[in-house]
Structure 1
């Protein structure tokens, strides 16, 4: 992994009805270029991935009443955003919550310029949407997770280069 690869922790947050929480992001210079993605972000200092997942979730959604589960998936990705290329090594953690009210006052300056909101999605809504969702196989991965439970070891997803 190159030294410039950003280490990221993401959260597959499920509510009591098995809905997943996704953020609605967009390119700051081109708001018509938009997508949905899981909460999460880069590790700070010597922070563990688990700690980063919980911190990012709290900052981006205001949700702190969380039971963090195991890592589900890992992937590498590379994409242009806000005038630069981001190379990331991402781990996705399962988490459960009964807290469905959200608060986005903890967003960073960049997130305030690039996040249009968030919403809870059912598996059926995710499977039916024509909107862009990252990771691109999230609908099927979520359906498998709900049907079979977490994998015994994290699944390595195919790299995504945009």
Structure 2
């Protein structure tokens, strides 16, 4: 066990998955369950529910502040781009949470728009289930083992 492994084992990573496709949710859960990194995956199904989670309202009053957000773009009620716009307008104190877009879209305009709205990375979902799981595990290794994430700030700063 490396020093990084020991440091990570003391704190579980809270990851918010914003996804409406049950198959992709299941594959993501499977990938994280196979991981050696302790984490808790929280799942919401659309941008409105995600904003409620992030702002601790409408049944999410006890929701933890996520360490990372995995965001699909094609969501019902409020899509991924609308979620990003509103999140940073209404809760600028949450802007330090890395947002990784994980979507089926390969459209250049979606990539550009996501980065304009402050996404930290843009990943295209592989169609093959084993490739999808490998992609999630690579994401997890990078974002939870290699990258140093900012410490959580008070929710009202």
Q: Which has the higher contact order (CA 8 A, sep 6+)?
A: 1
Larger proportion of helix: 2
TM above 0.5: no
Larger proportion of strand: 1
